[in-house]
Structure 1
Amino acid sequence: MDVAQVLRMNGGDGDYSYSNNSLLQKRVISITKPIIEDALTDLYCDLNFPKTLIMADLGCSSGPNTFLVASELVKSIDNIRIKSGHDEPPQIQIYLNDLPHNDFNTIFISVPEFQKNLTKQIVPGSSSPLCYFSGVPGSFYSRLFLSKSIHFVHSSYSLMWLSQVPEMGKTNKGNIYMSTTSPPSVIRAYHEQFQTDFQTFLKCRAEEIVNGGRMVLTILGRRSDDPCSKECTYVWDLLAMALNDMVYEGLIDEEKMDSFNIPQYTPCAKEVSNEVEKEGSFEIDCLEISEVNWDASTDNNLDSFEKDSQGINMGKCMRAVAEPLLLSHFGESMIEEVFLRYTNIIRNRMSKEKTSLINVTVSMTRKGLGYMIA
């Protein structure tokens, strides 16, 4: 599997698009908003209220969450400006990054209207937008920006994705991710791939972020020290159940199943801090763990009857995320059946037990003396 070619969220605005099935991810962004605001406050004040700020959203995907992040960044800076008594708002450049096959077209179509509405909210009557957008296609496990050019980096629910499926010494038979039945070599391969990728990510950002710049990362993770803990593997274990049932019924080839593995690693907070300290370019300001229930994929305004469909909505959420990976490996003919089965399993489990995801959020500062203000 060439991860850079196949890893993307479902584009467009259809029933299974990421745009229409990312309420859970929106909830995570809301939970981490105070950490982002604190980092931006420190940054803006330390830079002595510059006239220009350069920011980047890594793994931006497409849909409303992309502009939710951008809106929060701009509004936070404006609130800080007002509280500090500065009259003129800064111009803000926001780079939107994701892999090349991301649905950038949907983003670009929506940019002019977003800029117009945001400017009306903050500076009524102004003819100039408060922020400017550029798309940056490419892997964040490589250099993306000019040296010492970025003031603030944000990423939410992206860095758990690996640059490649780990190279495993043994077949991860019957599993598509780390599991309690996975061989130790598989668990080790996943951990080592995370270490390699996260070190690469930090080194690249260290080159691009100005001294004193900030970075806030939210990663799907775990509380437990056990990488096979249910809290981080459950969504993939349930998908594996659906796939194994289809293997048993002869609908999917067993060898095809055994060669499919999800390119993801969900670290605990200690693993994140260890890698940051090992790389050495950043100082950790804040490291927090939060939790979001699977039912966050359903609108809280729905009535009790509609809330019975929470499992269906979580199934759509996971389909928006995982469908491109399954399509590339198994082909189109099995997609409807596997997600029908997967959704039914999710509905069953959500009706009987509490189901949630764990988030690790780290806020850090680029070490060094002096700043380069763009």
Structure 2
Amino acid sequence: MDVTQVLRMKGGDGDYSYFNNSLLPRKVISMTKPIIEDALTNLYCDMNFPKTLIMADLGCSSGPNTLFVASELVKSIDKIRLELGNYDEPPEIQMYLNDLPNNDFNTIFHLVPNFQEKLKKQTTPNSSSPRCYISGVPGSFYSRLFLRKSIHFVYSSYSLMWLSQVPEMISTNKGNIYMSRTSPPSVIKAYQEQFQRDFTTFLKCRADEIVRGGRMVLTILGRQSDDPCSKECCYVWDLLATSLNDMVVEGLIEEEKVDSFNIPQYTPSPKEVSTEVEKEGSFMIDCVEVSKVNWDASTDHNVILFEEEVQGYNMGKCMRAVAEPLVLSHFGESVIEEVFERYTNNIKISMSKEKTELVNVTVSMTRNR
């Protein structure tokens, strides 16, 4: 699997698109807003009320969340400058939106004019709002993306758990598609080492691009436990593995096909994140926080009746928006509907029986001076 070619959220604006199934990630973005505002406040003060700010959203994906992040960052800067008594001309903001080349950038760009209009309407009385210029930057964030020492603030949410490649394994991860209780120790080690290499590479690249004293806030799908196979991080993929293995038993998918399919993801603990940041050495950690979000955050309770059946259906659509490109590239189009129908049903059953949550690790850091 060439991750750079197949890893993306499902594009467009259809029923199973990420555009229409990204409420859960939006909830996570909102939950981490205080950490973002704290980092931006310190940045803005340290830079002595700059006239221009260069920001980047890495792994921006497509759909409403992308420009929601941009909007929240711009509003935060405007709020901070006014609270600090700076009523001069607001700063101009360059916002770079980055993701892999096959990301649906067209959907983002179609939303930009509306985004610009909304910014104008958010003008504070007796003050003009900051101007924000949007640019798309295709490429892997495991490589250099920007000019040296040009970026003031980097943000990323629900992206850095994705690896640059499927880990190279000396053992078959039989019956599994991710780390699991039944995975050989060598598989777990391969995943851990791939994350360590990738995250270190990410930090080195950003260290080259971020100005001294610049800030970075990263939210990564992770875990609290020291056990990389704990249910809190593996369960959602175990349910997909169950769906695929049931289809193997029924002769709908070849067993070898499942055994050779592994999700290129690693959900780190706070300790692992801190260790890699400290080991690489370019950034000082300001804070590391853990939060949780229920799977039912994928349902808009203001619009849809709060029912377990509906919750499971919407979480199923959310996971399909995330996983379909990967499943499609490996198993082919003929089994897609059957796979995700079974997967959604397994999610429904799980949500009706137990509390289901995702764990988030958020780290805020400063580029060493």
Measured on the aligned residues, the alpha-carbon RMSD in Å equals 1.4
Look up the equivalent residue of 1:160 and give its one-letter code. M
Partner of 1:290: 291
Deviation at 1:306, TM superposition (A): 5.0
Look up the equivalent residue of 2:117 and give its one-letter code. K
Deviation at 1:68, TM superposition (A): 1.1
Separation of aligned partners in 2, 1:154 and 1:31? 14
- 2:267 is the counterpart of 1:266: yes
Secondary structure of 2:135's counterpart equals strand
Contact 1:115 1:129 in 2 (8 A): no
Separation of aligned partners in 1, 2:35 and 2:305? 33
Separation of aligned partners in 1, 2:5 and 2:259? 21
Partner of 1:163: 164
Look up the equivalent residue of 1:114 and give its one-letter code. F
Alignment of structure 1 residues 118-129 onto 2, 5 Å: 118-122=119-123
Residues 247-288 of structure 1: CA distance to partner in whole angstroms, max 9, x if unpaired?
A: 111100111111000000000000000000000000000100
Deviation at 1:308, TM superposition (A): 3.1
Partner of 1:86: 86
- 2:346 is the counterpart of 1:345: yes
Look up the equivalent residue of 1:82 and give its one-letter code. L
Secondary structure of 2:256's counterpart equals helix
Contact 1:216 1:361 in 2 (8 A): yes
Look up the equivalent residue of 1:90 and give its one-letter code. P
Secondary structure of 2:122's counterpart equals helix
Deviation at 1:326, TM superposition (A): 0.4
How many residue pairs align between the two structures?
A: 368
Partner of 1:74: 74
Partner of 1:372: none
Separation of aligned partners in 2, 1:206 and 1:303? 44
Alignment of structure 1 residues 1-12 onto 2, 5 Å: 1-12=1-12
Separation of aligned partners in 2, 1:84 and 1:128? 15
Separation of aligned partners in 2, 1:232 and 1:263? 14
- 2:296 is the counterpart of 1:299: no
Alignment of structure 1 residues 1-374 onto 2, 5 Å: 1-87=1-87, 88-122=89-123, 130-302=131-303, 304=305, 308-368=309-369
Deviation at 1:307, TM superposition (A): 5.3
Contact 2:295 2:356 in 1 (8 A): yes
Deviation at 1:121, TM superposition (A): 1.0
Secondary structure of 1:218's counterpart equals strand
* Structure 1 range deviating more: 82-91 or 311-320: 82-91
Deviation at 1:301, TM superposition (A): 1.4
Separation of aligned partners in 1, 2:77 and 2:344? 41
Q: TM-score, normalised by structure 2?
A: 0.98
Look up the equivalent residue of 2:263 and give its one-letter code. I
Separation of aligned partners in 1, 2:144 and 2:306? 49
Separation of aligned partners in 1, 2:348 and 2:293? 17
Residues 345-365 of structure 1: CA distance to partner in whole angstroms, max 9, x if unpaired?
A: 100010010000000000000
Look up the equivalent residue of 1:36 and give its one-letter code. I
Separation of aligned partners in 2, 1:133 and 1:312? 34
Identity of aligned residues (%): 80
Q: TM-score, normalised by structure 1?
A: 0.96
Secondary structure of 2:345's counterpart equals helix
Deviation at 1:309, TM superposition (A): 0.8
Contact 1:119 1:126 in 2 (8 A): no
Look up the equivalent residue of 1:23 and give its one-letter code. L
* Structure 1 range deviating more: 248-257 or 217-226: 248-257
Look up the equivalent residue of 1:172 and give its one-letter code. N
Deviation at 1:123, TM superposition (A): 5.6
Separation of aligned partners in 1, 2:326 and 2:6? 6
Distance 1:307 1:241, change over 3 A: closer
Deviation at 1:127, TM superposition (A): 9.7
Distance 1:177 1:199, change over 3 A: same
Separation of aligned partners in 2, 1:303 and 1:194? 38
Secondary structure of 2:336's counterpart equals helix
Secondary structure of 1:35's counterpart equals helix
Look up the equivalent residue of 1:79 and give its one-letter code. K
Look up the equivalent residue of 2:56 and give its one-letter code. A
Secondary structure of 1:158's counterpart equals coil
Look up the equivalent residue of 1:81 and give its one-letter code. R
Contact 1:91 1:130 in 2 (8 A): yes
Residues 125-150 of structure 1: CA distance to partner in whole angstroms, max 9, x if unpaired?
A: 99997100110000000000000000
Deviation at 1:305, TM superposition (A): 5.8
Separation of aligned partners in 1, 2:308 and 2:228? 32
Look up the equivalent residue of 1:50 and give its one-letter code. P
Look up the equivalent residue of 1:19 and give its one-letter code. F
Contact 1:175 1:240 in 2 (8 A): yes
Distance 1:250 1:206, change over 3 A: same
Structure 2 residues not aligned, in runs of 5+: none
Look up the equivalent residue of 1:31 and give its one-letter code. M
Separation of aligned partners in 2, 1:124 and 1:2? 51
Contact 1:116 1:129 in 2 (8 A): no
